[in-house]
């Protein structure tokens, strides 16, 4: 009977152009006071609210988003997930995130379409081979899956890759994280939003934070385009706008904002069932469920806040894809877009306290924070609830730039930046 009811209701909703579907989350008016205000309704802000409610019993929360949920980098990324980072500190936080991802559809009762199809990194010269073996050894010492592959093994996994010895950039080997892959990015945002809302979190869209209120060195609330919201604690998770929010609170961040672009081809039949990355040739490619080839490369070299990017980066990206996959040569590219990524000098994030009491910040995930979303939210929720970082995010404090304890993960980026 239940199944029949749901088929009938599906048909009714299809013919009514989806009118009458229940909303996945409420759209409440902001209250005058909250225990916690989270600024930024991307994956990291939403995950923080969800884990604050689920793990710490704090539900008097507003997530304040200036646009629409997931309209920032969360909905603009190329959805790659992996935990193959070099340093122990990074291994801890990214592996926590991957493990949370592995159970997230069940946790949220929302299919995030996690596809652990493997992430392959190619080596094209002796230096790449040495670097890859150093990384694979370090990753395995942290108990994380990673393996070195021969050109023949790579060809078996990605037959359309040009592995001939006379290619301009011959494939000499590579590394593979089999548990890596992709997940549907908007499903991650929507699933987290629905689950946070169900626990009482107010999600307030079209509401921009324009000021951070302080008294005696302590945060007291935020000014927004929909009025003042007082708060005991405030967490900032605004990615490319982190320096802007920090300036509102009177401090500076070691973060640069850059455009990062991606593009998709027209849809074609399934031809690539793994993620392929080449730092040297400078492109990465995967195939979406709709059949589009999803491609990206490095950041645009200048600072900026436009979600657009420039043509030369796209030209290089496509040229690099042609070198690796000559079979793509007649494929038409369909759409291009950009996001604003927040890059720290050591290419690692900042998650922790700020110089203002009870004001916390989560940023600097740069080109690689989608994979961190649940782990980042989990540790940030802990930090906000307890007022102290969790051991997993303690190394990622703002004061590492004063203490000199940098965690250099430039080489772990999807492609070189
Ligand atoms: P966002 O999703 O950007 O959310 C921040 C939100 O804050 C935004 O919605 C914004 O509107 C809001 N905001 C800003 N200012 C204010 C304000 N004053 N008031 C209220 N709200 C405000 N990572 C990977 O791991 N794998 C990938 O394959 C990958 N590919 C990428 C490809 C591209 C093209 C881009 C751009 C990024 C990619 N990333 C990838 C990086 C990843 O997308 C980000 O690190 C991650 O999504 C950051 O999430 P977030 O929630 O911190 O930020
Ligand atoms: O961090 O894996 C990554 C990534 C891939 C593309 C952009 N970032």
Q: Tens digit of pLDDT for each residue in 187-219? A: 999 999 999 999 999 999 999 999 999 999 999
CA-nearest residue for atom 4, ligand 2, is 414
pLDDT tops 70 at residue 160: yes
Q: SS3 of 292, please?
A: coil
Is 18 domain-assigned? Answer: no
Instruction: Give the pLDDT confidence score for residue 7 in this predicted structure.
Output: 79
Rg of the Cα atoms in the chain:
22
As beta bridge partners, residue 260 has 299, 339
pLDDT tens per residue across span 80-103? 999 999 999 999 999 999 999 999
Ligand 1 pocket, 80 CB below 6 A?
A: yes
Nearest atom of ligand 2 to the alpha carbon of 412: 1
What pLDDT does 413 receive?
Answer: 78
**pLDDT tens profile 354-374:** 999 999 999 999 999 999 999
| Distances from the Cα of 236 to the Cα of 37, 38, 53, 128, 380, angstroms | 9, 6, 17, 37, 10
Helix (H, G, I), strand (E, B) or coil at 359: strand
Ligand 1 atom closest to the CA of 67, numbered from 1:
11
Looking up residue 274, the CATH number of its domain turns out to be: 3.30.9.10
Domain that holds residue 130: 116-179+257-343
CA atoms within 13 A on the CB side of 243: 16
Look-up of token digits 């070198």? 323
249-280 confidence digits (pLDDT tens): 999 999 999 999 999 999 999 999 999 999 99
- Rounded CA separation 298/282 (Å): 7
Q: Cα of 100 to ligand 1 centre, how many Å?
A: 19
Query: Which whole number is the average pLDDT over 322-345?
Result: 96
Considering the domain boundaries, does residue 139 fall inside one? yes
Does residue 2 surpass a pLDDT of 60?
no
Q: Say yes or no: CB of residue 246 within 6 Å of ligand 1.
A: no
What's the pLDDT score for residue 417? 58
Q: Is residue 15 part of a domain?
A: no
Domain count, the chain: 1
**Considering every ligand atom, which ligand is closest to the CA of 80?**
1
Q: Does the C-beta of 284 come closer than 6 Å to ligand 1?
A: no
From the CA of 26, how far away is ligand 1's center (Å)?
A: 23
* Ligand 1 mean position, distance from CA 13 (Å): 32
Q: 292 CB under 6 A from ligand 1?
A: no
Q: Which residues pair with 182 in a beta bridge?
A: 80, 115
**Predicted pLDDT at 151:** 97
pLDDT band, very low/low/confident/very high, at 1 (cuts 50, 70, 90): very low
If phi over 0 gives left and psi between -120 and 50 gives alpha, with beta otherwise, what is residue 227? left
Mutate to test the pocket of ligand 2, among 76, 364, 367 (most ligand atoms within 8 A of CB): 367
Which pLDDT tens digit goes with each residue over 22-55? 889 999 999 999 999 999 999 999 999 999 999 9
Q: Is residue 410 part of a domain?
A: no
* Least confident residue range of 41-50, 183-192, 294-303, 407-416: 407-416
Mean pLDDT for all residues in the chain: 95
Task: Give residue 11's pLDDT.
Answer: 77
Residue 93 domain flag: no
Tell me if 185 is assigned to some domain. no
Which of the four pLDDT bands, split at 50, 70 and 90, describes residue 4? low
Substitution site in 93, 121, 239, 370 for ligand 2 pocket (most atoms within 8 Å of beta carbon): 370
Distance between alpha carbon 391 and the CA centroid of its chain, in Å?
21
Which ligand lies nearest the alpha carbon of 84? 2
Q: Is 373 in the pocket of ligand 2 (CB under 6 A)?
A: no
Is 273 part of any domain? yes
Q: What percent of the chain has pLDDT over 90?
A: 92
Is position 411 within any domain? no
DSSP 396: G
Distance between Cα 42 and ligand 1 center (Å): 6
pLDDT value at position 5?
Answer: 57
Q: How far is the CA of 251 from the centre of ligand 2 (A)?
A: 29
Residue of 371, 372, 373, 376 lying closest to 361 (CA atoms): 376
Is ligand 2 within 6 A of the CB of residue 80?
yes
Q: Please tell me if the CB atom of residue 262 comes closer than 6 angstroms to any atom of ligand 2.
A: no
Would the CB of 74 count as within 6 Å of ligand 1? yes
Cα–Cα distance measured from residue 296 to residue 307, given in angstroms and rounded to the nearest whole number? 15
């Amino acid at each position: 009977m239940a199944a029949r009811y749901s088929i009938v209701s599906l048909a009714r909703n299809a013919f009514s152009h989806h009118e009458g579907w229940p909303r996945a989350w409420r759209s409440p008016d902001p209250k005058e006071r909250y225990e916690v205000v989270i600024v930024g309704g991307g994956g990291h802000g939403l995950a923080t609210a969800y884990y604050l409610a689920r793990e710490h019993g704090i539900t008097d929360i507003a997530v304040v988003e200036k646009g629409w949920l997931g309209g920032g980098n969360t909905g603009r990324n190329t959805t790659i997930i992996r935990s193959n980072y070099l340093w122990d500190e990074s291994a801890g936080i990214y592996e926590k995130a991957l493990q949370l991802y592995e159970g997230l559809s069940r946790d949220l009762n929302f299919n995030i379409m996690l596809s652990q199809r493997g992430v392959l990194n190619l080596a094209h010269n002796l230096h790449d081979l040495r670097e890859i073996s150093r990384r694979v050894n370090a990753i395995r010492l942290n108990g994380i899956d990673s393996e070195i592959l021969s050109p023949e093994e790579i060809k078996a996994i990605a037959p359309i890759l040009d592995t001939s010895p006379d290619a301009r950039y011959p494939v000499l080997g590579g590394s593979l994280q089999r548990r890596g892959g992709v997940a549907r990015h908007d499903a991650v945002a929507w699933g987290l939003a629905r689950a946070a809302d169900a626990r009482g979190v107010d999600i307030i869209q079209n509401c921009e934070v324009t000021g951070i209120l302080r008294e005696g060195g302590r945060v007291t609330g935020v000014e927004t385009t929909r009025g003042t919201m007082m708060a005991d604690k405030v967490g900032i998770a605004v990615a490319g706008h982190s320096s802007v929010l920090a300036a509102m609170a009177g401090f500076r961040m070691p973060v640069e904002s850059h455009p990062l672009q991606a593009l998709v081809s027209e849809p074609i039949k399934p031809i690539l069932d793994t993620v392929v990355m080449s730092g040297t040739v400078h492109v990465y490619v995967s195939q979406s469920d709709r059949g589009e080839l999803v491609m990206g490369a490095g950041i645009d070299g200048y600072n900026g806040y436009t979600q657009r990017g420039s043509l030369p980066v796209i030209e290089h990206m496509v040229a690099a894809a042609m070198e690796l996959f000559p079979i793509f040569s007649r494929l038409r590219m369909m759409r291009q877009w950009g996001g604003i990524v927040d890059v720290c000098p050591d290419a690692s994030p900042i998650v922790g306290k700020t110089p203002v009491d009870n004001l916390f910040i989560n940023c600097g995930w740069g080109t690689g924070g989608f994979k961190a979303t649940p782990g980042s939210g989990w540790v940030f929720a802990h930090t906000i609830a307890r007022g102290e970082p969790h051991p997993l995010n303690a190394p990622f404090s703002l004061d590492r730039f004063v203490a000199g304890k940098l965690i250099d993960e430039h080489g772990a980026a999807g492609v070189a930046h």
